[in-house]
Amino acid sequence: MDIANIQAYMQEHKIDGWLMADFHGYNLIAVAMLKPSGMVTRKTFYFIPAQGEPTALIHAIEKDKYKHLPGKHIFFSSYKLFEGELEKVLDDAKKIAMEYAPMGRLPYIGLVDAGTIEMIRSFGKEVVTSANLVANFQARLTPAQIEAHKIAAKNVISIKEQAFTYIADSLKANETINEFDVVKFILGKFDECGMETADNPNCSVDGNAGNPHYEPSAENSVTIKKGQLVLIDLWGKLKSPDGIYADIAWVAYAGTRDEIPQKYVDIYTVLIEARDTAVAYLNKHLGTRAVYGAEVDDAAREVVEKAGYGKYFTHRTGHSITDHVHGSGPMIDNLETEDMRELQQGHLFSIEPGIYMDDCGFRTEIDVLIGNDGAEVYTLPYQTELLALLD
């Protein structure tokens, strides 16, 4: 944790301190920043003032969990002692950043309970969101992490190609294959590449592809047949301390190019335009002004809406990617949330417009890194048309 740079940022933005408040590990941002050793089940508050020494307030039974934290340590058992000491610690601060989302519009950041916010305000303090602090100090990738993402990106593209070949070969040989068989195949390839994933990848056909969070299992999996649409969504990272996810989605048709229904071609063409519009928007504006996740979402969504499919694009355009597939940085979102955090160098996120109907579903997904030269993409090549598995 870079205390000096955090303090410099707060001084520049006229914030008097950052108060990370956690109970039972619920504040995932605080846990990631403070890195307790082992399980924690009690309150821990860590205050970084804009100037001076940080202070940790730690429950007496968990003092060994945070002994690595710089600054003064205050131990407590009773809530009365805790509240009294906290008020003293905050005495000189007026504007305090916390994991708080005004109006609940950025729930990725709103991880501190209302009662705790209420207590801080009772001390006469102004509570502001730590959203930009988190984006700046937790979600920007290091050079080593960027290199790890590049490797993961190369691997997931290769595994995706092998998975589609596995489906095509099975269909050509008239062998039975289902969605979950493909999931198991992908997981096996992850192992071969030294990669891991928190959740299973997704293979879904026809109407199942119309459910963005469909999860095939051994019990509910559908057999893949000729003439079906097949969507594969997979994400993984290297099994290493610097491992960063790569996350992609591609769509294929279990037939020849000439057999692909025109409806499918038309829908997918819209999504390709929406994806490419989002990247072009980034490249146009990055380096000339601040760019926010919400406006990139607007740029992609406008393409889908103008084509008449707006009501079928039911999720954000993209999510932050770090060592978690859904990271703590800016989301490409002005639908589910209003993400007005600035996209900064080192931020990695997906661009994944989708159209979901009862009988079919489509998504194209790439990962974009804000790099030295603007929007950099390592999940290459782009998918430019529906794959025909039986050509």
DSSP conformational letter for 320: B
Q: Which residue has better confidence, 181 or 373? A: 181
pLDDT bin (cut points 50, 70, 90) of residue 383 is: very high
So what's the architecture of 3-137 in CATH? 3-Layer(aba) Sandwich (3.40)
Largest CA distance in the chain: 74
Show me where the domains of the chain are located.
3-137, 143-388
Q: Are 245 and 235 in contact (CB under 8 A)?
A: yes
Mean pLDDT value across residues 87-91: 97
Whole-number pLDDT of residue 29 = 93
Nearest residue to 351 (alpha-carbon basis) of 328, 368, 329: 368
Do the strands 229-238 and 195-196 form a parallel or antiparallel pair, or are they unpaired?
A: antiparallel
Mean pLDDT value across residues 357-365: 96
pLDDT in tens, 285-304: 998 999 999 999 999 999 99
Residue entry with tokens 């959740």: 199
Alpha helices in 39-142 (DSSP H): 79-89, 114-122, 131-137
Class of residue 332 by CB neighbours under 10 A (exposed 0-12, middle 13-18, buried 19+): buried
Q: Is the pLDDT of residue 372 over 90?
A: no
pLDDT in tens, 11-69: 999 999 999 999 999 999 999 999 999 889 999 999 999 999 999 999 999 999 999 99
So what's the architecture of 143-388 in CATH? Alpha-Beta Complex (3.90)
- pTM of the predicted model, to two decimals? 0.91
Q: Are 230 and 252 in contact (CB under 8 A)?
A: yes
Paired residues of 85 in beta bridges: none
CA distances from 200 to 27, 104, 370, 388 (A): 25, 30, 27, 25
Paired residues of 22 in beta bridges: 44
- How far is Cα 80 from Cα 215, in angstroms, rounded to an integer? 47
Whole-number pLDDT of residue 1 = 83
Q: Is the pLDDT of residue 373 over 90?
A: no
Backbone phi, psi, residue 291, to 5°:
-120, 135
Mean pLDDT value across residues 172-178: 97
Class of residue 376 by CB neighbours under 10 A (exposed 0-12, middle 13-18, buried 19+): middle
Mean pLDDT value across residues 269-283: 98
Mean pLDDT value across residues 197-204: 95
Q: Tell me the average pLDDT of the chain.
A: 96
pLDDT in tens, 99-135: 999 999 898 899 999 999 999 999 999 999 999 999 9
